[in-house]
Amino acid sequence: MYDLLIKNAKVMDGTGADAFSADVAVKDGVICGVGNLGYMESAETVDAAGRSVVPGFIDSHSHADLTAARFPDMENLTAQGVTTVCAGNCGMGAAPLTRYYMGTSGDGEALEKVRPPLVTKESPQTAAVVLPIEPVRRAFSEAYGVSLDWSSWQKFNRHFERCGLGANMMCLVGHSILRIQIMGPDCLRAASTEEIEAMCALLRQCMEEGACGLSYGFDYAPGNWAEDEEILRLAAVVAEYDGLLSAHVQHSGLRRGKLDRGFQPYQGFRELLEIGLKTGARLQVSHLRTPFKPLNDKEAASAAAQALLGLLDEYRAKGVRVGWDVLPNYPVAGEYAPMLASLLQCYVERCGSLTRFGEMLGDNVYCARLRAELAEGKNLGRGELYSFDIDMPGWDAMWRVTRHNEKSYEGKTTRELAKLAGLEPLDMLLRLLETDVRTCIRLDDPGKEYIGFADFIHHPDAAIGLDVECWNYDCNQETRPDMPPVYLGAYSDFSGMAYLLTHPDAADLRREDRIAAMTGRTARNLGLRDRGFVKEGMRADLVLLDWEKLSPSVDYVHPNRAPAGIDAVWVNGRLTAEKGRLYNPRAGRIIRNGDRVHG
């Protein structure tokens, strides 16, 4: 007797082969039959007539480990069909926590209990929030009722095996997390020989305890301070275990405290490929994008994308094993200034609080001085990662209002609102804040079409990542009225996979190829042994799609909505979501390096 029988389905098996009609049977969390299964007895039978059964989507570039302790149901992922994530990317991560904790997103309220709010925002390129772990453990418990009850990698895995997860999760060790355990707050410098030895020893321990590899974040502190010896020796440890070496390659010109204004990302891609060539490590290039900047038209972006794909082929011919992923929702992802006031946070802090800043905007003298300073490009926060710069082309079209007391403003850019009001865009920006200092925004960068996505998604090696954390649908970080603005409104992605399936740049791709990019190819890149395909013996991570109703349901004002057309999601054979309704059985598993395909 089967546990689940899905009848009359159009199966897309994750290989890219043509869809075929079949039934799919599941027993004990494993696919035990694909074909004409007749009328076999089953505890549950689903009629999939007119719909497609595909493998559960695999997010090859995730940061779910950063928030999984708070949101283990992972609703924003499972409701859109994501059944497996590869987390711990960009050098960031949640383990090991032997001595120190490095601040990330979604932990602001807890960290305020350990230290006061920042005097100014710290860019992740130049600074790292490094705190002793024991006070942070207490703060997480007080702020969120969550226990960070692990130190080693083994205890990290056991935490989630005990508490459960909404989706399967394989994790990489973040280079920056590794670095701070050994170097502590004094990590913005080159490591000594002894410190490199200690990092290698700690990484080796993590790999022995099941870590699936290592990730670098060459644009982020403190990892961007590492010298070549440190980088290569750690990569060699990963190669010993045939783990995965993932990297956010260097895109900016800032490295080791120095800025190279002539730097091009092409150099960063080549750096990672050279590491693979020298160490034999299996590479995964994170969120592929065009390797030259600036690019102002699609033709130039396409030529740049093809040059990068040629570079990857060049190193494959030399024996380098390299996979890559591309983001369907880049550059929005989880990285955007959530409140309009956060673009002027230095002024907020000068006023003492967000409330006081709002009051000061009602003072004509203060507002006139602020306007003059901003108009002249002399704002105090200029150059910060998320700040307002009058000289930035198209700044007034970059952000859409997602929340304001005046509901008619929502969904519009500053430029659009200024035109309707007959104002200069800068005056409109200040009016938005004066009338509602808690105005929320979301990045809507017009340059996102120039990242080469169309070229990358059409390549036969294309795989997909979302670059987001995990959250629940009722998540709300606004737990008190006067929190610093940088902490508010930062919902994660809720429909990136459905966005890819309906993306205009992928419209001419066969549905089977789009599904393969989200499942089988990603499984191959990550070395997943028993996921990514609808075949006998594979884990029953499955999605039931209604292509006619499929829609990402994107809504920047209310982003926490399930996509349409994802009719059912099973994780290890257990129903996890059905037409946006979430059951949260926490059927996900921890995937260890020993579970992966090697060689």
Q: What is the CA radius of gyration of the chain?
A: 24
> Same domain, yes or no, for 212 and 129?
no
**Residue 483 domain flag:** yes
Closest CA to 75 of 590, 489, 581, 589: 581
> Same domain, yes or no, for 216 and 163?
no
CB-based contacts of 364, cutoff 8 Å, min separation 6: none
Closest CA to 125 of 234, 228, 251: 251
Closest CA to 214 of 245, 193, 187: 245
Q: What is the pLDDT of residue 464?
A: 92
CA pair distance 239, 535, nearest whole angstrom: 30
Angle 535-536-540 (CA atoms, 0-180°, nearest 5)?
75
> Same domain, yes or no, for 431 and 390?
yes
> Same domain, yes or no, for 371 and 428?
yes
Eight-state DSSP code of residue 415: H
Eight-state DSSP code of residue 339: B
**Residue 593 domain flag:** no
Residues 570, 56 contacting (CB under 8 angstroms): yes
> Same domain, yes or no, for 71 and 7?
yes
pTM: 0.89
Choosing from 444, 472, 502, the residue where a domain stops is: 444
CA pair distance 326, 538, nearest whole angstrom: 25
Structural domain boundaries enclosing 299: 172-285+289-324
Closest CA to 25 of 595, 581, 584, 573: 573
Instruction: Show the 3-state SS of 248-262.
Output: ECCCCCEECCEECCC
Choosing from 421, 444, 467, the residue where a domain stops is: 444
Per the structure, how many domains does the chain have? 4
Sign of CA dihedral 58, 63, 67, 69: positive
> Same domain, yes or no, for 473 and 573?
yes
> Same domain, yes or no, for 466 and 353?
no
> Same domain, yes or no, for 402 and 538?
no
Q: What is the pLDDT of residue 120?
A: 45
> Same domain, yes or no, for 578 and 462?
yes
Residues 66, 158 contacting (CB under 8 angstroms): no
Which residues of the chain are under the pLDDT cut of 50? 119-120, 330-337, 478-479, 486-491
For the stretch 82-135, pLDDT in tens is 999 999 999 999 999 999 999 887 787 788 889 876 544 556 777 788 999 999
Q: Extract the tokens encoding 355.
A: 């409330």
Burial class (CB in 10 A: 0-12, 13-18, 19+), 481: exposed
**Residue 216 domain flag:** yes
Buried b (16+ CB within 10 A) or exposed e, 281-308: bbbbbbbbbbbbbebeeeeebbebbeeb
**Residue 517 domain flag:** yes
The enclosing domain of 473 has a CATH number of 2.30.40.10
CA pair distance 98, 103, nearest whole angstrom: 15
> Same domain, yes or no, for 17 and 162?
yes
Residues 429, 393 contacting (CB under 8 angstroms): no
**Residue 49 domain flag:** yes
**Residue 205 domain flag:** yes
**Residue 167 domain flag:** yes
> E strands, 431-483, where?
440-443
**Residue 597 domain flag:** no
Choosing from 390, 423, 444, the residue where a domain stops is: 444
CA pair distance 528, 540, nearest whole angstrom: 14
> Same domain, yes or no, for 358 and 435?
yes
> Same domain, yes or no, for 258 and 161?
no
Q: Extract the tokens encoding 181.
A: 């355990």
The enclosing domain of 267 has a CATH number of 3.20.20.140
**Helix, strand counts (H, E) of the chain:** 18, 24
CA pair distance 487, 118, nearest whole angstrom: 12
